[in-house]
Chain A
Amino acid sequence: MAAPAPAEKPALEVRGLHKYFGATHALRGVDVAFRAGRVHALLGANGSGKSTLVKILAGYHQADGGEIFYSHDSGANAIAFVHQDLGLVPTLSVTENLALTRSFKMWHGAISWPEENRRAQELLAEYDIVCDVRQPVGSLGPAEQTTVAIARAIASLPASGGVLVLDEPTARLPVSEADRLLRTVRGLTRRGVAILYISHRLDEVLAIADEVTVLRDGDLVHHGPIAGLDRRTLVRLIVGRDIEEGIRHEAAGDWVGQPLLAVENVSGVRLRDVTLAVAPGEVVGIAGLVGSGRSELGRLIFGLQKSTAGRIVFDGRDITPVSTGARVDLGIAYVPQERRNGVFSGLPVSENLVLANLASALKGFALSAGRVREIAEGIVRDYRVKAAGIEFAIDTLSGGNQQKVSLGKWMLRNPRMLILDEPTQGIDIGARTEIFATIRQLVAERNMGALVLDSDLDILAGYCDRVLVMTRGRLTSALANGEITPAALSHAVYGH
């Protein structure tokens, strides 16, 4: 390789990287260099080649052409990954989790646990985590767990010249926790590692990154310092066109009459005395931190969990004692936060779409394959689900398209109320805009009501007619129409 001056030698450089999946050209000759002591944001929509690049670096895929250079002698050993699911064993202690990837300190042929605990304590102290390292890692907060995973990854890198890849480290964190983690990440640059930071949260990227690399359809479309870039420019780079973010219903708020859904003084495990109403044609957002009771509210309304007090009225009827199945029949639809609970992994796309509509797939006494196909193809077309074929397993679809399936399967049942728990978590901005546009369109055309439970304040501010803020199980404030801005929401949620 043409040797640049040693001081500027990148920690990791790829040249002319190509990758094919069958007929798909996933990477089309990507050249990019990542320097030590910098945070490099790696951006791109689903299908941009971003994950392919990272998987090649991880050694999971073989590149079909091109070269990869590491500055450090240990080559591929000088790269560490923290994936979205962290790879921690929640029931094992912090010490055990840290020890999983390195050798144990032995004392006469036995593991010396006092020594291991001391080392773990020391390591975490460097990241400002003070905790009893003998407790299970699952008892730590989400940001602390992520930090433990990062500390473990860094510990596996050589003293200098390593590369750390962080894949959506904040996707599951509330904003306040995310801020804490971002500070930790910034601190890592002092250790002389190059950080590859992957996130769909653009505000975060603008706050933390030194340099930005954007991939689109397998091509490198941008690589350079973040200075001078704003959110709008980043969106244009990622999607390839301008996107109008945020749609709101003008006439909301002045609706009088019987509400579609009324939650009256409902309590649950975390919820305390919650009262709210949703009118037809209205999208109501619930903002709140993880653990505020936000998700529980959705589960209670859908009947997945029993309330301890109060009642839930849907369309004038008390549905509190009614089963989930009966609520579905009444016209309530629910999209859960965990995508694995919204789709049936391993089953074909068609089966996923038809399972909620089995009655309409019957022809006489038996299910008809033709009707199944018709129903599935109809939904795929209406909601622009990108799938190679409805007979393929749902797992072959991108996250955004899986989410469209999770939502679209309800539509034949003509639901009148949608409950959406973090509907676009981990989904790129293009797909996210499409999904919310669909939701708004459905709500308008069919005069449905929707309840959006989300921790992303931008989403709530962009698409909801009203936003209620939940703190420690109680609704603490309400914002409507013009008052809803990310700043106002942030103030209501975090008090700053």
Chain B
Amino acid sequence: MQLAKTLVGKYGLVVVLLLLIVFFSAMKPEFFPTRANAGSIMSDNAILTLVALGVMVPLIVGQFDVSVGFVATLGVMLTAGLLSRDDLPWPLVVLIVTGCGAAIGLLMGILVGYVGLNSLIVSLGVGSTIQGIVLLYSNGEVIFQGISKSFQLLGQTRLFGFIPLPFLYALIAGIVLWFILTLRPIGRRLYAIGGSPEAARIIGINVKRYVAGSFVVSSTVAAFAGCLQVARVGAGHPTAAQALLLPAFAAAFLGATAFRPGFYNVWGTFIAVYLVGAGTTGLFMLGADAYVQPIFNGTILVLAVTGARLGVLRKARIMNAKAGAGDQELGGPQSDGKAELKVAGGMSN
């Protein structure tokens, strides 16, 4: 019973992922449970995983970076352009592109952290500007020539003929981010800022610097994801990665319903991406039309968040009862309101 509760409460996403895999394997035994299919699901979603891990960091400190889709697209076009037009060696290109990402992040970080502007507005404005610059730079054309084979190998090689390198990069990024977020003081401070910026300031945390830094992380990771996309498909498309924005946020929100419910976390986000990825692939194999995918994504997100919310509320009641906390301060409706805000805060702040 206890086990069942933990499974549903903390590992619900993993359980759903496994159930989906079993279901689709049973329905399409000759196509779904194959190494080739697993490899392509892993590869197809690696870019999204990176972008989702990136947006998670500003989300943890309570800020939105909605520019990541555009920054990733800039990464794509800049990588393709520098490789094919300027014929630069790929390590230099990766360095330049991630450097550009970091600079964009720093700009937004300063505007949000130090100037105190609303992050949604800043990242929307910066993102839109970048979109224009990308169109200007690329003339709206796809770049598919002059991208060296050696660079493409970085995105297309499959380890043991099975695990695609992009998945490995995403996994490494996840492990590094997980280590920093859970086992290094920096990570704890980020969550503290998300909980209460003023309280964080009072214990001596340099809140402005951390907020600014979170945008540097999300933009750098997004630009790097753009590089990787070029290596993976061998071409640069001027609208290649814009569509990643909403799924990336959805994955971060969905991820906050598992492992450490109520808090954005690496493995929740990771599993969320592959849950949606596996589900979509499986549905296509069953012959679903294109419209099924967004419906599936949206429904899963809303269901998971609803489930997590009900779970957290129940947990809060149990905890109140345990702590005998009916007697904190008067104003029951308000204290309940606080609990609600907290959940909402965990999810959307």
Contact = CB atoms under 8 A, between A and B. Distances in A.
A340 B262 CA distance: 19
A60 B196 contact: no
Interface in A221-235: none
A282 interface: no
Interface in B306-349: 316, 318-336, 338-339, 342, 345-346
B192 to A, nearest CB: 5
Contact of B202 (A46, A342, A361): A342
A397 B325 contact: yes
Contacts of B204: 324-329, 356
Contacts of B19: none
Nearest to A342: B199
Nearest to A60: B332
B157 interface: no
A342 B200 CA distance: 9
A55 interface: yes
B198 A341 contact: yes
A283 to B, nearest CB: 21
Contact of A346 (B203, B262, B325, B335): B262
A376 interface: no
A61 B334 CA distance: 13
Given A21-B325, A24-B326, A347-B195, A393 B319 contact: yes
A51 B323 contact: no
Interface string A341-377: 1111111000100111011011001110000000000
Nearest to B180: A366
Contacts of A426: 329
B192 A366 contact: no
A19 B325 CA distance: 12
Contacts of A324: 201-202, 204
A387 interface: yes
B185 interface: yes
* A contact patch SS: mixed
Nearest to A302: B202
A394 B95 CA distance: 44
Contacts of A395: 335, 338-339, 342
Given A367-B184, A367-B185, A61 B331 contact: no
Interface residues of A, number: 66
A336 B334 CA distance: 21
A56 to B, nearest CB: 9
Contacts of A351: 188, 191-192
Contacts of B325: 21, 396-398
B324 A26 contact: yes
Nearest to A343: B199
Contact of B196 (A48, A50, A54, A341): A341
Nearest to B322: A388
A21 B201 contact: no
Contacts of A317: none
B189 interface: yes
Interface in A91-124: none
Contacts of B318: 22
A383 interface: no
A76 interface: no
A51 B327 contact: yes
A356 B203 contact: yes
Which one of A23, A343, A358 has the greatest number of beta carbons of chain B within 10 Å?
A358
A327 B342 CA distance: 30
A61 B331 CA distance: 11
A413 to B, nearest CB: 9
Given A346-B346, A359-B185, A396 B323 contact: yes
A343 B202 CA distance: 10
A291 to B, nearest CB: 20
Interface in A155-209: 167-168, 198
B299 interface: no
Contact of B203 (A326, A340, A366, A409): A409
Given A22-B321, A61-B326, A392-B323, A328 B203 contact: yes
A365 B195 CA distance: 25
A367 B196 contact: no
B159 interface: no
A399 B262 contact: no
A346 B318 CA distance: 15
A164 B345 CA distance: 34
A355 B330 contact: no
A304 interface: yes
Contacts of B342: 345-346, 393, 395
Interface in B168-201: 179, 182-185, 188-189, 191-192, 195-196, 198-201
A341 B199 contact: yes
Contacts of B326: 19, 21, 24, 26, 51-52, 55, 61
Contacts of A446: none
A342 B262 CA distance: 21
Contacts of A436: none
Given A51-B330, A395-B339, A367 B195 contact: no
A84 interface: yes
B332 A398 contact: no
Contacts of B205: 325
A58 interface: yes
Interface of A: 19, 21-24, 26, 46-52, 54-55, 58, 60-61, 83-85, 167-168, 198, 302, 304, 323-329, 334, 336, 338, 340-347, 351, 354-356, 358-359, 361-362, 365-367, 387-388, 392-393, 395-399, 409, 426
14 contacts: A21-B326, A22-B321, A26-B326, A60-B333, A84-B331, A324-B201, A336-B199, A341-B196, A341-B199, A341-B202, A343-B196, A347-B191, A358-B185, A358-B188
The 10 A-B pairs of least Cβ separation, nearest first, read A60-B332, A328-B204, A22-B321, A24-B324, A358-B185, A366-B183, A396-B323, A325-B204, A344-B195, A388-B323
Given A343-B196, A367-B182, A397-B323, 6 more contacts: A49-B327, A328-B203, A340-B196, A344-B192, A395-B335, A395-B342
